[in-house]
Structure 1
């Protein structure tokens, strides 16, 4: 089996993370790997979200006819307050109006993916509904896929590094990652798990981003 420097590095990093069983040890890992500044920079673009969205919240929006039975936003029924209109304007301008559908699917636990590109956004919806589900993005999955390779070659690692979109066909990989993530979190004392999860996610994000071609 071939080796690859990016695989060797990520495998070593994941193995170190698997040994951590406290927030203090994770903080030391972040300091030793000089990740603190980059994590701080991450939050300047993506401020931490500290709220939940439940099935009951979605049902309320349905009763107001803001979300329809297909989980799409009904723009003509949008609230008239300035904040709602401002957020709707951003969604519309970015072409993201109908992406909300996948987010709602994740919150409500709807089975199946509406498109092959809904995997990541649907998982984010699931993470908003419960602490049990992690946030997972393309960079995190890239890092985990390289770490989890059964057979390493320059070609396989190179192809993963160039991969920018994870699709429905990658759900087995997502499920394997979630099992790995839970195994790591379960070793941490309960009072520390929330902060540990948040920081671990950012560390894995940076690992995946580091190897992207």
Structure 2
């Protein structure tokens, strides 16, 4: 979680830093899953990941190797360990909307999400706190505007289907939105289809709009 907070507080507005932390293995589990899902939907960014991995490998190759203190003992322990048990095979349906990384993480696809309505035109499925982050799936009705809000910490949002816009730009399937306490926005779903997404945050959001504006957003 610390790396996620640091990334946003540095006001990095591209996903390059996020991908670098993914390669370094420093992201909390939900953020790692979010990045893996993003890479499935935006395969062009796998090139960046491969380049970052190559740079990391080059850096490691320049470090002087250190001999193992008990090579024979470690080898004996590995050889003495019990072989892994065979897993029973089962047929798992291929996801149609969720990337496989997310499907494996939550255990279902978009059609089977047990949504709960939070307000007219906005539904959510709360996955709870995982590895120091709060995780949820969200569904926004076409054309619906979410009430204006900022964030007490940081939030990563991955668009899984549909799209939304805010004052910063346009986000479609596979895009990641990065927000923190410097961002005050009113995301609005596109008109063609519901916007479905995955949100990973380290602190709650905070409503900022006027009461009149919030009522208008809620009743549409």
TM-score category of the 2 structures, normalised to the smaller one:
under 0.3
Greater relative CO, 1 or 2 (CA 8 Å, sep 6+): 1
Q: TM-score, normalised by structure 1?
A: 0.25
Higher-Rg structure is 2
More helix by percentage: 1
Q: TM-score, normalised by structure 2?
A: 0.25
More strand by percentage: 2
